[in-house]
Amino acid sequence: MVTTPGAPPVPSLPAVAPLPTPAATTRAGGDGPAVTPVLAGLAAAFPPAVDQSTLWTDFFATHYRDVRSAGRIFAHAGVRQRHPAINPLVEDISTAGTGDRMRRYLTEALPLGRSAVTAALADAGLSVRDPGLLVVASCTGYVTPGVDIRLAAELGLRDDVQRLLIGHMGCYAALPGLAAVADFVTVHRRPAVLLCVELTSLHLQPASRDLSQVVAHSLFSDAAVAAVLRPAEAAHPVPGLAVVDVAATTDVSTAEQMTWDVTDHGFRMGLSAQVPDTLAGQLPGTVAALLRRHGLAVADVAHWAVHPGGPRILDVVQERLGLSDAALEPSRATLRRHGNCSSGTVLAVLQDLPVRPGERTVALAFGPGLTLYAVLLRAV
């Protein structure tokens, strides 16, 4: 795989003394050698792919026949194929009730989640008996007992494994999930698993003239993506991406620009055209603050894993941070191949980065709030 060139030079941030990384400061209970949480395994599972053009001509052209701009929106979504677990070419669930959709969620989410977690554990060189924590992030379905409990049983995880369910955080959920998993690994010195499983195809809405619905249905897709973190010590290094630091910004005054409402026909997205502009205002300060804490500037970051919320979002990130086309290509490629898979998408981008030891990566994701999350990683 071709190495992504670094970002073009930009004005340096003010020089400050870097804060110690978690590896230099954190010890379980204050005793023992320092522990660094390392992202050591990543894997994704997708339903069968369907071409975007086929979805448009064979279903959505009729579904949105009263919306003149719908064809243009689909054509410019930056998506070439998607992975709908509920394929509208086979099954139109736009008028199904929410209860039926939630029952279907469990049926479809479990095998995808099992496949992703199994592969991620193998990628990290671990067995199902090793993790001490399973975190499941999802905003597209709810069942009790949850996917976390059922999946732990199906996989054969230990009875004492801790579990955490992250719901309704939307597209940025993977990054606070990654932070929670990293904290657990650091404190408890045990591996942990994060699974993002999203089935946006469950929430096909009845036809309407609402352009935000057209945009959502042109972008979103399904996936399960799992990340495994392991504890590393100086005497016992682990290859992967060390989680160095996390930053977040939420502008609650713009909360209504992105919504995800539970209705009688599944979950319905509300999406304002102002979202990219709002995120543009958050980006420079949040990224600068994260990097400044470690004496870094944008030019010191070799790779960018940016959640591909849509082409305009990626354009805004590139412009506001002064990044090259090559720096955003992994995110654009993920959008082309898989669509926007909500929370798991940023992890799918990370999986494809050609990182080398010592290089730094920043992962960025956005969602309701409006919220921006940024994670600094270092290849070890």
Per-residue model confidence as pLDDT tens digits over 155-177: 999 999 999 999 989 999 999 99
Let me know if domain 239-379 sits in CATH 3.40.50.1240: no
* Residue numbers in the chain where pLDDT is lower than 50: 1-29
What is 42-232's CATH superfamily?
Thiolase/Chalcone synthase (3.40.47.10)
What pLDDT, on the 0 to 100 scale, is given for residue 133? 98
* pLDDT computed for residue 11 by the predictor: 34
Q: Are the C-beta atoms of residues 47 and 241 closer than 8 Å to each other?
A: no
DSSP label of 172 = G
Radius of gyration of the CA atoms of the chain, in A = 20
pLDDT reported for residue 235: 85
Query: Position of tokens 């609402």?
Result: 210
Domain coordinates of the chain in residue numbers? 42-232, 239-379
Q: At what angle do helices 325-338 and 311-321 cross, to 10 degrees?
A: 170
pLDDT at 260: 92
For residue 88, the model assigns a pLDDT of 98
For residue 150, give the H/E element and its range: helix 147-155
CB contact at 8 A, 77 and 310: yes
Specify whether 139 is catalytic.
Answer: no
Q: Please identify which of the residues 139, 171, 196, 341 carries the catalytic annotation.
A: 171
Amino acid 33: pLDDT: 82
**What's the confidence (pLDDT) of residue 338?**
98
d(CA 3, CA 1): 6
State pLDDT tens for residues 81-110: 999 999 999 999 999 999 999 999 999 999
Q: What's residue 6's pLDDT?
A: 39
| Angle subtended by helix axes 98-123 and 147-155, to nearest 10 | 40
